[in-house]
Chains A and B, each alone.
Chain A
Amino acid sequence: MGKNLIELNHISKIFDGEQVIDDLNLSIKENSFVTLLGPSGCGKTTTLRIIAGFIRPDKGNVIFDGVDITDLPPNERQLNTVFQKYALFPHMNVRDNIAFGLNIKKKSKSYIDDKIKYALKLVNLDGYEKRNVESLSGGQQQRIAIARAIVNEPKVLLLDEPLAALDLKLRQEMQYELKKLKNELGITFIYVTHDQEEALTMSDTVVVMNQGYIQQLGTPEQIYNEPENAFVATFIGDSNIVHGVMLEDYLVEIFGSPFKCIDSGFGKRQPVDVVIRPEDVDIVDINSDKAILKGKMIGAIFKGEMYEMECRTNDGFEWLIHSTDLVEPGKEVGIFVEPENIQIMNKPASEDEEAVEVLAELNEE
Chain B
Amino acid sequence: MKNKKLKLFTIPYAAWMLFFVIIPIFIIGYYGVTDSNGNFTLANIFSITQYEHYKSLFLAIYLAIICTVICLLIAYPLALILRKLDPKLSGTLIFIFLLPMWMNMLLRTLAWQILLERKGVINALLTMAHLPTLNIINTNAAVVLGMVYDFLPFMVMPVFNSLSKIDDSVIDAASDLGAKYHTVLFRIIIPLSIPGIVSGITMVFIPALTTFVISNILGGGRILLIGGLIEQEFMHASNWNLGSGLSIFLILFVFVFIAISMFFDDEEELA
B179 within 8 A of A: yes
Give chain B's interface secondary structure class: helix
Counting contact residues on chain B (CB < 8 A from A), the size range is 10 to 19
Q: Which residues of A contact B178 (CB under 8 A)?
A: 75-76, 101, 104-105, 152
Contact A100 B177 (CB under 8 A): yes
Does B170 count as interface, using CB distance less than 8 angstroms? Answer: yes
Bound-state CA distance A101–B174 (Å) is 8
> Do A87 and B179 have beta carbons less than 8 Å apart?
no
Inter-chain CA distance A76–B176, complex, in Å, is 8
Please report the C-alpha to C-alpha distance between residue A80 and residue B179 in the assembled complex, in whole angstroms.
12
Q: Are A81 and B173 in contact (CB under 8 A)?
A: yes
Indicate if the CB atoms of B177 and A104 lie closer than 8 Å: yes
Name the CB-closest residue of B to A90: B192
CB of B183 closer than 8 Å to a CB of A: yes
Q: Let me know if A83 and B175 touch, CB within 8 A.
A: no
At the interface, yes or no: B21 with Cβ under 8 Å from chain A? no
Contact A75 B173 (CB under 8 A): no
Give the one of B187, B191, B268 with max A CB within 10 A: B187
Contact with B along A55-85 (1 / 0, CB 8 A): 0000000000000000001111000110111
| 1/0 contact string of B191-214 vs chain A (CB within 8 Å) | 110000000000000000000000
Chain A: which residue is nearest B271 at the CB level?
A91
Q: Within the assembled complex, what's the spacing in Å between the Cα atoms of A149 and B169?
A: 14
Q: How far is the CB of B208 from chain A (nearest CB, A)?
A: 29
Q: Total A-B residue pairs with C-beta atoms closer than 8 Å? A: 64
0 or 1 for each of A137-181: is its CB under 8 Å from B? (1 = yes) = 000000001001100100000000000000000000000000000
Taking CB atoms, residues of chain B closer than 8 Å to A91 are 191-192, 268, 271
A84 vs B170: C-alpha distance in the bound complex, in angstroms? 11
Bound form: Cα–Cα A159–B188 in Å = 22
Interface centre among B169, B178, B191 (most CB of A within 10 A): B178
Interface residues on A, range: 20 to 34
Chain B residues contacting A76 (CB-CB under 8 Å) are 178
Q: What residues of A have a CB within 8 angstroms of the CB of B183 in the complex?
A: 104
Q: Are A83 and B192 in contact (CB under 8 A)?
A: no
CA distance A306 to B188 in the complex (A): 51
Chain A residue nearest to B268 (CB atoms) is A91
Partner of B172, one of A87, A92, A101, A132: A87
Measured in the bound complex, the distance between the Cα atoms of B183 and A105 in whole Å is 12
Contact between B167 and A148, CB atoms less than 8 A apart: no
A54 at the interface (CB under 8 A from B): yes
User: Which residues from chain B contact A92 at a C-beta distance below 8 Å?
Assistant: 271
For chain A residues 204-220, which have a beta carbon within 8 Å of chain B? Answer: none
Q: Which residues of B contact A89 (CB under 8 A)?
A: 170, 173-174, 188, 192
Contact (A73, B175) CB under 8 Å given A87-B169, A87-B170, A89-B170 = yes
Q: Is the CB of B174 within 8 A of A81?
A: no
Please name 8 further chain A to chain B contacts, defined as beta carbons within 8 Å, in addition to the given A89-B174, A90-B192, sorted by A numbering: A52-B172, A74-B175, A75-B176, A83-B172, A88-B170, A89-B170, A89-B173, A152-B177
B binding-site residues for A, Cβ under 8 Å: 167, 169-170, 172-180, 183, 187-188, 191-192, 268, 271
Give the top 3 A-B pairs by smallest Cβ distance, nearest first: A101-B177, A87-B169, A87-B173
